[in-house]
A = this chain, B = another copy of it.
Amino acid sequence: MTPMPHDVAPVSANGKSLDLADAPSNGQPRERRLAFYQWLIRHLFPGVKVPIRIVFYNGIEVATAPGTPIATVRIRDRTTFLLMAVNLDMTFGDAYSEGRIEVEGDFLAFLVEAFRAPPAPATVQVLRHWIARWNARPRPNSVDKSRDNVWHHYDLGNDFYKLWLDEQLVYTCAYFPTSTATLEEAQIAKMERVCRKLWLKPGETVVEAGCGWGALARHMAKHHGVKVRAFNLSREQVAYARQRAREEGLADRIEYVEADYRSITGQYDVFVSVGMLEHVGPQNYRALGRLIHSVLKPTGRGLIHSIGRNHPCRTNPWLEKRIFPGAYMPSPREIARIFEPLDFSVVDVENLRLHYAKTLEHWLQRFDGVADKVRDMFDERFVRMWRMYLASSQAGFLSGTIQLFQYVFVPGKSNEIPWTRDQLYDRPTYPVPHHTSLSNGVMNGHGSL
Contact = CB atoms under 8 A, between A and B. Distances in A.
B333 A340 contact: yes
B419 A425 contact: no
Interface stretch (A160-168, A241-249, A348-356, A431-439): A348-356
B332 A346 contact: yes
A421 interface: yes
Interface string A312-338: 100000000000000000011100110
B332 A311 contact: no
Interface in A400-449: 400, 403, 405, 412-415, 417, 419-422, 424-426, 443, 445-446, 448-449
A361 interface: yes
B336 A333 contact: yes
A310 B343 contact: yes
Pick the most buried of A311, A339, A348, A399: most chain B CB atoms within 10 A of its CB: A311
B425 A398 contact: no
Contacts of A340: 310-312, 331-333
Contacts of A175: 420
Contacts of A412: 310, 400
Given A310-B339, A336-B332, A349-B349, A449 B399 contact: no
A109 interface: yes
Given A350-B421, A417-B354, A445-B398, A336 B331 contact: yes
A353 B419 CA distance: 10
A177 interface: yes
A435 B272 CA distance: 40
Interface residues of A, number: 55
A420 B332 CA distance: 20
A116 interface: yes
A127 interface: no
Given A336-B336, A448-B354, A414 B398 contact: no
A28 interface: no
A344 to B, nearest CB: 6
A108 interface: yes
A370 interface: no
Contacts of A354: 415, 417, 419, 443, 445, 448
A411 to B, nearest CB: 8
Would you list the 4 A-B pairs with minimal beta carbon distance, nearest first? A425-B425, A349-B349, A333-B336, A311-B340
22 contacts: A109-B449, A112-B449, A116-B413, A177-B422, A310-B339, A310-B340, A310-B343, A310-B412, A311-B341, A331-B336, A332-B336, A332-B340, A332-B346, A333-B340, A343-B400, A345-B351, A346-B351, A346-B403, A346-B405, A351-B417, A354-B445, A358-B448
